[in-house]
Amino acid sequence: MTEGSQGPAARRAALDEVRRLAERTPPLREAAVADLLGAAAGGDPLALERLVAHHLWLVRDAVLARPTATVPVADLVQEGSAALVVGIRRHIAEASPAAQLTAVLRRDVDRELDQAEAREREVRAEEARWVADSDVYAAAEVRVRRERGRPPTTGELAVLLHWEEERVDRVREMVTRAQAAHDVDLLAIIAEVGDEPADGGDAAT
pLDDT, tens digit, for every residue of 9-65? 877 888 888 888 888 889 999 999 999 999 999 999 999 999 999 999 999 999 989
Residue 184 predicted with pLDDT over 60 = no
Residue 37 makes CB contacts below 8 A (sequence gap 6+) with 47, 51, 88, 91, 92, 98, 101
Enumerate the CATH 1.10.10 domain ranges in the chain, comma separated.
129-195
Query: Interior CA angle at 65 toward 102 and 116, to 5°?
Result: 85
Residue 186 predicted with pLDDT over 60 = no
pTM of the model: 0.69
Q: What is the pLDDT of residue 2?
A: 44
Residue 141 predicted with pLDDT over 60 = yes
Whether 74 contacts 59, CB under 8 Å: no
The average pLDDT across 165-184 equals 82
What is the spatial distance between Cα 113 and Cα 103, in angstroms, rounded to a whole number?
A: 16
pLDDT confidence tier of residue 190, bands split at 50, 70 and 90: low
Mean pLDDT estimate for the chain: 86
- The CATH fold assigned to 129-195 is Arc Repressor Mutant, subunit A (1.10.10)
